[in-house]
Amino acid sequence: MRIFLTGASGLVGSAFARASARRGHTLTGIVGNFSGDVPGLSSRRPLDLTDESALSSALLDVFPDAIVNCAAVSEPATVDQDPARAQALNVALPAALARLAHHLSARLVHVSSEQVFDGTRSLPYTVADLPAPLNLYGRQKVASEQLVRALAPEFSAVVRAPLLMGNSPGGRRSLHERLLGDWTAGKTARLYLDEYRQPCTAENLAEVLLELCERPECRGTFHWAGADLISRHALGLALRSHFNLSPERAPIVAVRRTDQPEISKNRQACLALDLAPLLGVLKTRPQTLAEQLAELHVPPACQDWCLKS
Ligand SMILES: NC(=O)c1ccc[n+]([C@@H]2O[C@H](COP(=O)([O-])OP(=O)(O)OC[C@H]3O[C@@H](n4cnc5c(N)ncnc54)[C@H](OP(=O)(O)O)[C@@H]3O)[C@@H](O)[C@H]2O)c1
């Protein structure tokens, strides 16, 4: 299969590149500013994805069977800093890709987020539940889902992903990479006792995206996540223990949402996702936390520091 991947240098895109290479697909990966290596790409193209005519030319040139959209401004705080740039990447880009997928009769797999929900209920959110985003990032993701569904209904699958673990090309993107980076810099991690997430690795999510490329009959909006719901604080403790770090070298302070009400009002208390109907359809299984931890590497920038522990 010929696949066109945006965000190839990101946490999810780079995992997708490795998974796609294992399955023998021909993968064209679009990168932005990242200059390092991205293993698994058949061809690599630097491109500013906010330039719609350059995007069209690149897509018409490749004429892919499938398009996978992993490019985004993927952090709520960064979205708030530059809403216009985030709108271009998080909303206008998926809409352009949906129009082009329709034009090329290509499969489109677009990554959305658990942050379309407000996180006020403890039951898992199903794909039938109505989105109620708390922040601009979540609102942009909702808009992207609506546009993708409207512009390429017969070709598209949207996957809402949870908090992601995994190994990124620059070693700074995923949860454990950030925590290790903070501890290496002498910082204390402040982690919520009462915010629950259902993390999965980018590698596991990439397998799902790849299966969806290969399964065009799966259309619409889907959920994916790991097998375990865990508080951010418990996750931090599990990561510290996994990397064999002492509490003195890798300090964690427990905080509660009521400690910082102004910040907490834009953060979801509990984001549990019901994985039906994908769970019954795909070969990929959600991973337990233990399985996820086993896949994590110490990023190069933290290796010397970790060895000293
Ligand atoms: N990370 C999470 O915890 C998480 C959770 C749920 C959902 N998601 C969603 O999953 C998807 C993938 O997220 P991620 O964490 O892999 O993101 P990421 O690591 O931040 O990567 C973003 C990618 O977008 C590319 N990009 C940004 N602006 C660009 C531009 N103007 N032109 C070309 N490329 C550009 C970046 O390229 P360069 O780096 O080369 O510039 C990078 O490859 C996103 O839709 C995100 O919203 C992420």
Burial of 268 (0-12, 13-18, 19+ CB in 10 A): buried
On the question of pLDDT at 211 being above 90, the answer is yes
Q: What is the pLDDT of residue 263?
A: 87
Quick check: CB of 74 below 6 Å from ligand 1? Answer: yes
State the chain's mean pLDDT as an integer. 96
User: 6 and 71 in contact (C-beta within 8 Å)?
Assistant: yes
Quick check: CB of 98 below 6 Å from ligand 1? Answer: no
Q: What is the pLDDT of residue 309?
A: 58
What is the distance in A from the centroid of ligand 1 to the CA of 173? 9
Task: Give the largest CA-CA distance in the chain.
Answer: 57
The model's confidence at residue 122, banded by pLDDT at 50, 70 and 90, is confident
Among candidate residues 15, 156, 135, the one with its CA nearest the CA of residue 73 = 135
Quick check: CB of 161 below 6 Å from ligand 1? Answer: yes
CA-CA distance, 99 to 69, in Å (whole number)? 13
Token pair in block for residue 109: 């797999």
Q: What is the pLDDT of residue 307?
A: 80
On the question of pLDDT at 216 being above 80, the answer is yes
Residue range 100-126: average pLDDT?
A: 97
What is the distance in A from the centroid of ligand 1 to the CA of 284? 22
Quick check: CB of 251 below 6 Å from ligand 1? Answer: no
- CATH class of the domain at 2-167+199-227+273-286: alpha beta
Quick check: CB of 163 below 6 Å from ligand 1? Answer: yes
What is the distance in A from the centroid of ligand 1 to the CA of 82? 15
